[in-house]
Amino acid sequence: MAKKYPTKKNTTFILGEDVRFELSKKMTVAGIYGGGFIRVHKAPSEKEPVGIRLMFVFVFGDGEGTFQAQVRVLDPEANLLVQFDPEVKSDKRPDAAMTIVCGALNMPVKKLGRYLAIVSLDDREYEYEFSIAYEEPPKS
C-alpha cells in the first residue's frame, strides 16, 4: 500500500465537550462549539486558570496508509498547552474515513484568544484554530 497523506480540504475538525462511541462504530459528539468559538463565564489568569473540558475530533476523508499521529494544543502565545501521543499507529484505508479523537478533561486555560489544535500524521501537520473569549454570565 503506497502512503498518501490526507488533504486538509477533505479533513474535518470538530471541537466539543464529549464524545461517546456507539456499538455501530459511529460516534456522538456532545456540546459542539460551532465555528470553534468557546465562551467562558469566568476570566482566566495565570494565577487562576479556567478548566475547560474539550474533545478534539479529526476526521480524514481521503488519503491512504499507516501514520504515527500526534495532537498538540498551543495557547495564544504559541506555548504548548497539552499534547496527546497515541501509542498505536493509525491506519487509513482508501474506502473509509480515519478518525482521531483525543480530549482534555480539565484543560487549564490561562489566556483568552486564538488557540491552535495541530494534528500531525508522521511529519505532516494540519492546523485548526479555535478561540476562547470571556462572556458575562447570564443574569438569573
Tens of pLDDT along 2-21?
899 999 999 999 999 999 98
| Buried/exposed 82-110: b ≥16 CB within 10 Å, e otherwise | bebeeeeebebeeeeebbbbbbbeebebb
Confidence at residue 88, expressed as pLDDT on a 0 to 100 scale: 66
Has residue 2 been placed in a domain? no
Confidence at residue 1, expressed as pLDDT on a 0 to 100 scale: 62
Has residue 139 been placed in a domain? no
Residue 101 in grid coordinates: 479523537
Confidence at residue 116, expressed as pLDDT on a 0 to 100 scale: 96
Per-residue model confidence as pLDDT tens for the chain (140 residues) = 689 999 999 999 999 999 998 888 888 999 999 999 999 998 888 899 999 999 999 999 999 999 999 999 999 999 999 899 876 678 898 888 999 999 887 888 999 999 999 999 999 999 999 999 998 888 87
Confidence at residue 85, expressed as pLDDT on a 0 to 100 scale: 84
Residue span of the structural domain in which 21 resides: 8-134
Residue with cell 468559538: 37
How many domains are contained in the chain? 1
Has residue 3 been placed in a domain? no
CATH number (domain holding residue 118): 2.60.40.1930
Has residue 68 been placed in a domain? yes
Neighbours of 121 (CB within 10 A): 25
pTM (2 d.p.): 0.89
Q: In sequence order, which residues have a C-beta less than 8 Å from that of residue 139 and are 6 or more positions away? A: none
Distance, CA of 77 to CA of 109 (rounded, Å): 12
Distance, CA of 42 to CA of 103 (rounded, Å): 21
Has residue 91 been placed in a domain? yes
Distance from the Cα of residue 39 to its chain's centroid: 16
Has residue 70 been placed in a domain? yes
Candidates 135, 80, 138, 110; CA nearest to 120 is: 80
Has residue 66 been placed in a domain? yes
